[in-house]
């Protein structure tokens, strides 16, 4: 696999990389059970891949994010639509305005009726979307999950933004450094069913079992449902319930932005530490005003771009989703399908006051 390294890591990232490497990068049981689920579905392997097949022209590729009014998905899906333009296809984004479990089903049915060539989906729930996706696949539509995986039978390939284990563990490490490995911590997540957040949280809990975190206690996992107002209120609730809270990890761009807004305007600013996953543009001012020291993310545009090329490679017969198949993803280079139909974008970047101004997304 070729992974683009467009960003210059800081010493902190280098340290994190070493740390995560020494934690072992293997896929664990919970990884298999969740974000990167069981073996790639059978429909995917029914035809042989032809690595030399040209990308078909005029492919219709639909992006179905968890929700449409989330800047993270706007960036990702624009990246995917841009890629579709490059290979002579037609990309579009459709989707619900809330990230609830079954909100995507009616969209899948409509996309099937429209005879799209591929659906690229970030699943709000690993299972709720599967019956509709199975029907779409039976009708010849290729399915790529990106960002948040479906159960394996729902898709041909999963384009993962970063190793789930690395993400879960590094978020705990980031917060631990900021609170001196001491005190009560909470997680402010997205929806309770989100495949990606739930997988990362499992790895956070596993990381916290290590002796170096013996003085840290995870007191609560709260759910802001990737809704700005609910995430804001949940943050307020956490601080009320745990006045001695030392820090919050919010592994969602919606959650961390709302929590930062709350903290920056409260006496806890800079005292209750906040980290997680966010976009530099949404969090820049909170890094500058001292609410946030460091957080992480991958490049969402690259995620959408890679998912778009994966969808085109599937729809053109270049790949079927079987391990070892290779395809080219335009400016990002060549990628290989890994175990369980997973394609990995690469490592995330840690942002802090020293590097945040180098990023514009
Ligand atoms: C939110 C969504 C998305 C997640 C990012 C980090 O935008 O929950 O699924 O990957 O945060």
pLDDT in tens, 121-155: 999 999 999 999 999 999 999 999 999 999 999 99
Q: Is 122 in the pocket of ligand 1 (CB under 6 A)?
A: yes
Instruction: Please say whether the beta carbons of 269 and 242 come within 8 A.
Output: no
Nearest CA to ligand 1 atom 3: 252
Write the CATH number of the domain with boundaries 164-295: 3.40.50.2300
Position 120 confidence tier, pLDDT thresholds 50, 70, 90: very high
Domain 17-24+52-161+299-356 annotated CATH 3.40.50.2300: yes
What are the beta bridge partners of residue 276?
250
Domain boundaries, the chain: 17-24+52-161+299-356, 164-295
Nearest CA to ligand 1 atom 4: 252
Would the pTM of this model clear 0.85, i.e. be above it? yes
* pLDDT of 39 above 90: no
**How far is CA 33 from each of CA 117, 162, 165, 199, rounded to the nearest angstrom?**
28, 17, 13, 9
Q: Mean pLDDT score of the chain, rounded to an integer?
A: 90
Q: How far is the CA of 54 from the centre of ligand 1 (A)?
A: 33
Q: Do 164-295 and 17-24+52-161+299-356 have the same topology in CATH?
A: yes
Arithmetic mean of pLDDT, 287-295: 98
pLDDT at residue 34, as a whole number: 61
Q: Which atom of ligand 1 is nearest to the CA of 252?
A: 11
Q: Is 72 in the pocket of ligand 1 (CB under 6 A)?
A: yes
Arithmetic mean of pLDDT, 235-251: 98
Q: Which atom of ligand 1 is nearest to the CA of 251?
A: 6
SS3 146: strand
Q: How many CA atoms lie within 13 Å of 117's alpha carbon, on the beta-carbon side?
A: 22
Q: Which atom of ligand 1 is nearest to the CA of 70?
A: 7
What are the beta bridge partners of residue 121?
64, 145
**How far is CA 173 from each of CA 13, 164, 212, 277, rounded to the nearest angstrom?**
11, 14, 10, 13
Q: Which atom of ligand 1 is nearest to the CA of 66?
A: 9
Q: How far is the CA of 238 from the centre of ligand 1 (A)?
A: 21
For the chain, the C-alpha Rg in angstroms (whole number) is: 20
Arithmetic mean of pLDDT, 12-24: 35
Nearest CA to ligand 1 atom 11: 252
Q: How far is the CA of 275 from the centre of ligand 1 (A)?
A: 14
Q: How far is the CA of 252 from the centre of ligand 1 (A)?
A: 5
pLDDT tens digits, residue range 69-78? 999 999 999 9
pLDDT at residue 22, as a whole number: 33
Q: Is 253 in the pocket of ligand 1 (CB under 6 A)?
A: yes
């Amino acid at each position: 696999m070729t992974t683009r390294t467009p960003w210059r890591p800081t010493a902190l990232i280098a340290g994190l990389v070493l740390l995560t490497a020494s934690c072992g990068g293997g896929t664990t049981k919970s990884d298999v059970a969740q974000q990167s689920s069981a073996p790639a579905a059978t429909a995917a392997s029914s035809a042989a891949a032809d690595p030399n097949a040209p990308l078909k022209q005029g492919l219709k590729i639909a992006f179905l994010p968890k929700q449409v009014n989330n800047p993270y998905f706007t960036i990702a899906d624009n990246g995917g639509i841009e890629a579709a333009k490059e290979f002579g296809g037609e990309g579009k984004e459709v989707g619900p305005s809330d990230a609830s479990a079954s909100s995507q089903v009616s969209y899948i049915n409509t996309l099937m009726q429209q005879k799209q060539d591929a659906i690229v989906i970030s699943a709000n729930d690993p299972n709720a979307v599967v019956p509709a996706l199975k029907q779409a696949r039976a009708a010849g539509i290729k399915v790529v999950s990106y960002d948040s995986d479906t159960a394996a039978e729902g898709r041909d390939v999963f384009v993962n933004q970063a190793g789930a284990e690395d993400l879960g563990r590094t978020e705990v490490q980031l917060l631990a450094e900021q609170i001196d490995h001491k005190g009560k911590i909470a997680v402010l997540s997205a929806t309770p069913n989100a495949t990606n957040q739930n997988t990362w949280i499992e790895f956070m809990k596993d990381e916290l079992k290590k002796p170096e975190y013996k003085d840290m206690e995870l007191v609560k996992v709260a759910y802001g449902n990737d809704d700005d107002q609910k995430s804001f209120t949940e943050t307020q609730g956490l601080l009320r319930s745990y006045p001695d809270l030392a820090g919050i990890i919010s592994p969602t761009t919606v959650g961390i932005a709302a929590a930062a807004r709350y903290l920056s305007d409260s006496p806890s600013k800079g005292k209750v530490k906040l980290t997680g996953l966010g976009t530099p543009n949404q969090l820049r001012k909170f890094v500058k005003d001292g609410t946030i020291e460091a957080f992480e993310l991958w490049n969402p545009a690259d995620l959408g771009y890679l998912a778009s090329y994966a969808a085109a490679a599937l729809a053109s017969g270049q790949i079927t989703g079987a391990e070892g198949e290779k395809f080219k993803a335009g400016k990002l280079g060549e990628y290989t399908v890994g175990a369980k139909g997973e394609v990995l974008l690469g490592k995330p970047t840690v942002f802090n006051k020293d590097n945040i101004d180098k990023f514009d997304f």
